[in-house]
Structure 1
Amino acid sequence: MNLSWDSWGDGYGASVDIEDGPSSDRSGDVDEQVERKLGDWEAIAPPDSVTPPDVVSFVDGVMHNDARGWLTDEAGDAHPVLAASYAAGVVRCDRRRGVAEVTSALVERALLSALPDATSLGTGPARYVAHRASRDVAEHLDRDLSKLLVALELKASREAGAGASEDELLVVDGRLRERRDLSNTVGYIKTQHSNYLQPAQVRVVTTMPVGHRTPVFAFAGLFSWYLRLPGPAGSPWSGIVRVECSDRVEAADAIHLADLSAVTLPGYASRAYKDPRAPQNLIPIAGLERRLRGLLGDSRLLQRSLRAAVR
């Protein structure tokens, strides 16, 4: 086989990007009456008895496409290939000590191709491990890379959950996915791709004040709710995030997690003058992303190693 590169470093990626709001179509079967009857839906302020936990850990991941190219097989057919770096980690915020520290940082590199006999490339920290792609199409290489990142985030989440006390909160940037068995864990969704509510309930979301949340609803094996973070007034969906937890907990426990998130997450909201993705891109997550991107390595050195590997 012959390997050749034709483009370099087309940028960093993350699990989500900010949008104005969800599509108008309602997604799937939703139980909107977990906490309140439909006619009683209104914005909820968490009770004064609920206070933020002393320790909150955040999990996130980043990826970088280092090079795209082609693998030519013995028959002369060219197949797309992607060399990429990706990382996942955990930042632990301790309010008692006033410190935030990265407690886990995992870095991997992948060479994605649909060819079954493709081999790994490079050596040492610049080694790209061969992974079989689901289809021989460039877009599927990106999707498969995202799956590898999710798996690495899952590993980081489990490491964080294993060392956490019962009172700590674990916030996963993005959907929970396979992490539904972790206790005191919520998924934090910054981008609202889908609409889960009826029009009357959507109006509760778009009109609720800062620090308030919606009643808890359920769908697809999850409890979920929306809350509004502090930030400048803008579109009806400005500052709106969706939070989810597993339905393996009792409804009362999900409601407590909803209140806990409403008193905790606004305190970590970013500011527009520091982060263009404010307020949804929480300060600890933004800091973790910067740290992980640094750990991915110098793209120029990685490109040099990739060039050398095909000489």
Structure 2
Amino acid sequence: MTSTAHAARMRFHVDGWDPTYGSSVENAENTIGDSTAKVIPDLELAPADWKPISPSHVPDPGAVLFVDGVRRVEARIWIEQPPAAEPAPSANRADDAQMALCASYAAGTVCCCPDRGAHLLTIESRRGLFTTATNAVDVPTTAGTYQANITFDDQEENLAVLLSAALQRRLGDLEILVAANARTALAGHGVAAGSDLLVVDGPLRGRTHLPRALGLIKSHRTAYLPPDLHAMVSALAAGERTPVFLMGTSWDRHAWYLRLPCTPGAPWAGIVRLECAADIPTPEAIALANLSQLILPRYASCEYKDARAPQNLVPVAGLERELRRRLGNPALLSRALRVAAAS
């Protein structure tokens, strides 16, 4: 890399292993989030009165905006660190290299509105270098520039996990950007201001400030509700939901479970968890829960089309395909990084 004098001071090497198989340097990448939750279940119904709630008649939103993002690690690289002092003749320079990630990520929004149907509304893509190396600089390649993102080196955290979290934060920021841009772009769609619904694929953490927003969680690793209320989730029929409850882990939000239409099978087949901001009034959260029962079943996917059906909603699946296409050819990107490393 000789584009600038500053860039020439950073030397790096590309790890030969395919990043989808982990690093050639063995690292434990297991991380488990906090599984305890503070739950307040008596917002909509008292716990003794909890029962499946059937869909109600509510007005359609002016438009539904589906937001999603994708990420892909193109390569793990090793950035040489300048020695603090002149190294001994026998010094192993590999010991002075820091692992980093070169990744591509993209986010976009699909708009479903009466006038134009489902269409791609906003999309943004980025390439980034994620590292704790303080001498890191942008990596220009023939396939684009990987912008340096230097994060604090937490010695108590696994490095691979730390860098992956930094990448996820950047992706989250990009999702917020495309969501804000989408609402600006709605101005020409004949949609009344404040009448749209925003559905974010994934938790709403860090995005609860977005108005009229829902977080859609497709997979379940933790039982947040007390056992007697948790058991009711598997009793939901298609289109039914649980009462709204307030949930707090490292952050607070309103939440409820909803079963999407699907082929009968496993007890939790078709179950999704929805989230909205904790600081909105309870009646507003209940109204969003009712709206989710009207909107989301319309977009549930089919088993013969999507292995993640019905939870992977049709607009989200289409958006994911387009976003991954926008990331570029991984083989060409890997080659571009190797050429840049050898420059």
TM-score, normalised by the number of residues in structure 1: 0.90
Match of 2:241 among 208, 213, 216: 213
Q: Alignment partner of 1:270: what SS?
A: coil
Aligned counterpart, 1:185: 213
- For residues 134 and 182 of structure 1, the distance between their equivalents in structure 2, rounded to whole angstroms, comes to 28
Q: Does residue 108 of structure 1 match 2:126?
A: yes
8 Å contact kept, 1:26–1:198: no
Q: Following superposition of structure 1 onto structure 2, how do residues 26-45 of structure 1 map, counting pairs within 5 Å?
A: 27-45=36-54
Question: Percent identity among equivalent residues?
Answer: 41
Output the CA distance in 1 between the equivalents of 2:326 and 2:77: 24
1:141 corresponds, among 144, 157, 163, to: 163
Partner-residue secondary structure (3-state), 2:152: coil
Query: How many Å apart are 1:190 and its aligned residue?
Result: 0.9
Change (3 A) 1:91 1:11: farther
Query: What aligned pairs does 1:241-260 form with structure 2 within 5 A after superposition?
Result: 241-260=272-291
Q: Does 2:76 correspond to 1:72?
A: no
Amino acid at match of 2:144: A
* CA shift for structure 1 position 74: 2.7
- Equivalent residues of 1:9, 1:65 under 8 A apart: no
Q: 1:132 is matched with which residue? A: 150
Give CA-to-partner distance per residue, 1:27-69, whole Å, 9 cap, x none: 321110000001100000122x214334111000001110112
Matched, 1:265 2:296: yes
Aligned to 1:53: 61
CA separation in 2, counterparts of 1:148 and 1:26? 25
The root-mean-square deviation of aligned C-alpha atoms, in Å, is 2.1
Partner of 1:15: none
CA distance, structure 2, for counterparts of residue 98 and residue 156 of structure 1 = 19
**Alpha carbons 1:41, 1:201 under 8 Å: kept:** yes
What is the one-letter code of the residue matched to 2:120?
Answer: V
Evaluate the alpha carbon distance shift between residue 93 and residue 124 of structure 1 in structure 2; reply closer, same or farther with a 3 A threshold: farther
How many residue pairs match? The answer is 298
Given that residues 301 and 309 in structure 2 are in contact (C-alpha distance below 8 angstroms), is that contact kept between their aligned partners in structure 1?
Answer: yes
Partner of 1:18: none
Deviation at 1:123, TM superposition (A): 4.6
Report the 3-state secondary structure (helix = DSSP H, G, I; strand = E; otherwise coil) of the residue aligned with 1:122.
Answer: strand
Shift in Å, 1:11? 4.8
SS in 2 for 1:224: strand
- The CA distance in 1 between the partners of 2:302 and 2:59, in whole Å, is 23
Q: Is the 8 A contact 1:8 1:303 kept in 2?
A: no
1:124–1:102 Cα change, 3 Å = farther
- What's 1:160 paired with? 182
The verdict on how the C-alpha distance between 1:215 and 1:26 changes in structure 2, with shifts beyond 3 A counting, is farther
Contact 1:59 1:172 in 2 (8 A): yes
How far did 1:88 drift?
Answer: 0.6
Name the CA shift for 1:284/1:308 in 2 (closer, same or farther; >3 Å): same
Tell me which of 289, 292, 296 is aligned to 2:323: 292
1:190-209 residue pairs with structure 2 within 5 A? 190-209=218-237
Change (3 A) 1:245 1:123: same
Q: Which amino acid aligns with 2:244?
A: V
How far did residue 247 of structure 1 move? 2.3
Selected match of 1:150 from 160, 166, 172: 172
The residue type paired with residue 236 of structure 2 is M
For residue 307 of structure 1, report the CA deviation from its aligned partner.
1.3
2:88 is the counterpart of 1:62: no
Matched with 2:117 is 99
Aligned-residue offset at 1:84: 0.4
Tell me the CA shift for residue 279 of structure 1. 0.7
Ranges in structure 1 where 5+ consecutive residues have no aligned partner? 13-22
How far apart, in 1, do the equivalents of 2:59 and 2:241 lie?
A: 15
**Which of 88, 94, 99 is the aligned partner of 2:107?**
88
SS at match of 1:179: coil
Kindly provide the amino acid, as one letter, of the partner of residue 68 in structure 1: R
Q: Does the 8 Å CA contact 1:92/1:102 hold for their aligned counterparts?
A: yes
Higher radius of gyration, 1 or 2: 2
Deviation at 1:105, TM superposition (A): 0.6
2:161 alignment partner AA: E
Aligned with 1:207: secondary structure?
coil
- 1:309 has 2:340 as partner: yes
Cα distance, 1:291–1:231 mapped onto 2, change above 3 Å: same
Distance in 2 of aligned mates of 1:26 and 1:4: 38
Amino acid of the structure 1 residue aligned with 2:212:
N
Q: Does residue 117 of the first structure (1) align with residue 139 of the second (2)?
A: no
